[in-house]
Amino acid sequence: MKRLISRGLMFGNLIRVDSPALVERYNRALERLSGRRTGLTEFHIDISGYSYEIGEEFGDHFYLNPGGVNRQFIILDTRQKSAPLLNAQFSTSRGILRQFIEENEAKLFALTAHDAVAGELDNSVFEVSTPARLFDIRKITVVADTTQAHVANARKLAEKIERFQREDDAWFDDVLIAEMIELARQTGDVTRNPVDLGRPTYEQGNFWTAHFGGIYVFRDAAHPAAISVRRRADLGEMPVETCDLTMRNAIATFLERNDLVEPVIKARGVDGAAILRQKMDFILVDAATSEGMEIDGFDQRSLHRLAQRMAGRLPEEFRKLGELVRWALNGGKWPRIASDHPAYFYTLRARADHPDRDLVNQLLSELAPLDIRQLFITHKTAFYAAYRDWPEAKKDYVAEFLARDYAANKAGAREALFGGAPPSPWRTGPRPPKDDIIDLVGPWGAVRR
């Protein structure tokens, strides 16, 4: 993994925590959530506040995710919104956390100036003992507060202010006034600088989960289904039609019936032939390195010579994609590819305008695992697991390719492959108004312009 780490392809974009003040705030939040404290004086955290180093220290990488169902989080800095989510158990978790931080950025900026914000993605389900229990998870409510309960106290103060304004004899209620003064010392002026984060709710309709070896749940599709990485027989009774990754015809039918995919070669705004040629390179390198062949280089001329040397041993995926590329460049008869052919899912991508585009592309990456670029972008858990078993020559090629052709322009590469950003599938209910970070800084007063 050193190749990936040194190139920023693993544990990249994490937030460094190395000051005594931030470590202490983290420990206060950690103690509140789990009853534990870290002895480390320096570590890195992801978007949820999880730290791989602390997981190693505890011997428990689920210390912020007990049971793998209701993810807890610690926010020290709003910059965490751009960090990845490590050891994710649900594909929706990072999107929900990022949107929560973005929608409350001004308030969180104020609150984290003096304290950590700790909370939980609450879905009201505390365990998933069987795959069918996954369908009980419908909505995720974000519950959050500082370790000193600034949000809860602000709510209390707001209620008392409302009572004070409503009741005629409140001016003579010394107890009420004293309580208001004491709370105001902790929260500041909540009438001018509200700090209530609310309890926003996000829909978890279609999602992937790492539970039970990996399951894709499409319950909000016109024709619902679940797709399992493990054998269908291992799942037991399910509330929707269910298949596993070996049932390629059934999966192809599901994707087509729900209009979830489109052929790469016919997608608008992309160079389909170039994308397929790149997939052919990935397939070629895998085949050659698996045979232990010497590879002179990874430029196009070297790979072309490598394909000539392999001749009759070229994989079926490579040959069929080659036919499709030749059709795109030269025309002629359309090369039919059946859904049970090993090249079939390499020819597809998710519809660019679909809210579940990323989820569908993640599923396709498991059905076409030799496309190392798509696997890395859409399903890092599967990518890292596969990487460990690759020959050293393939590891060299993949690390160098991703660093050069993807990491240098991530947003551009994603758009070229998958299209622009799809509509967000997370939020339910009205969005909160945007706050100006200059005017709104929470309980410590407004900053002067």
Whole-number pLDDT of residue 436: 41
Percent of the chain clearing pLDDT 90 (strictly above): 58
Q: DSSP letter at 402? A: I
Q: CA-CA distance, 270 to 369, in Å (whole number)?
A: 21
Residue 200's contacts (CB-CB under 8 Å, 6 or more residues apart) are: 100, 103, 141, 142, 427, 429, 432
- Global pTM value: 0.84
Contact 99, 424 (CB under 8 A): yes
Of 109-123, 178-192, 262-276, the one with minimum mean pLDDT is 178-192
Percent of the chain clearing pLDDT 70 (strictly above): 85
Whole-number pLDDT of residue 52: 95
Whole-number pLDDT of residue 280: 95
Which candidate, 76, 7, 72, 4, places its Cα nearest to that of 44?
A: 76
Q: Where are the domains of the chain?
A: 2-147+431-444, 149-199, 206-259, 261-418
Residue whose structure tokens are 């700790």? 118
- Specify the 3-state DSSP secondary structure of 155: helix
HSE, side-chain direction, 13 A CA sphere, residue 231:
2
Identity of the highest mean pLDDT range in 119-123, 153-157, 239-243, 444-448: 239-243
Q: How many other C-beta atoms lie within 10 A of the C-beta of residue 176? A: 17
- Count of residues for the chain? 449
Whole-number pLDDT of residue 239: 95
pLDDT(189) > 60: no
Whole-number pLDDT of residue 427: 52
Whole-number pLDDT of residue 426: 54
Whole-number pLDDT of residue 429: 47
What is the residue-averaged pLDDT of the chain?
86
Over residues 269-280, the mean pLDDT reads 91
Of 135-139, 163-167, 330-334, the one with minimum mean pLDDT is 163-167
List, for residues 15-70, the tens digit of each pLDDT value. 999 999 999 999 999 999 999 999 999 999 999 999 999 999 999 999 999 888 88
Whole-number pLDDT of residue 310: 86
Query: pLDDT class for 383, splitting at 50, 70, 90?
Result: very high
Query: pLDDT class for 158, splitting at 50, 70, 90?
Result: low
List, for residues 247-261, the tens digit of each pLDDT value. 999 999 999 999 999
Whole-number pLDDT of residue 371: 97
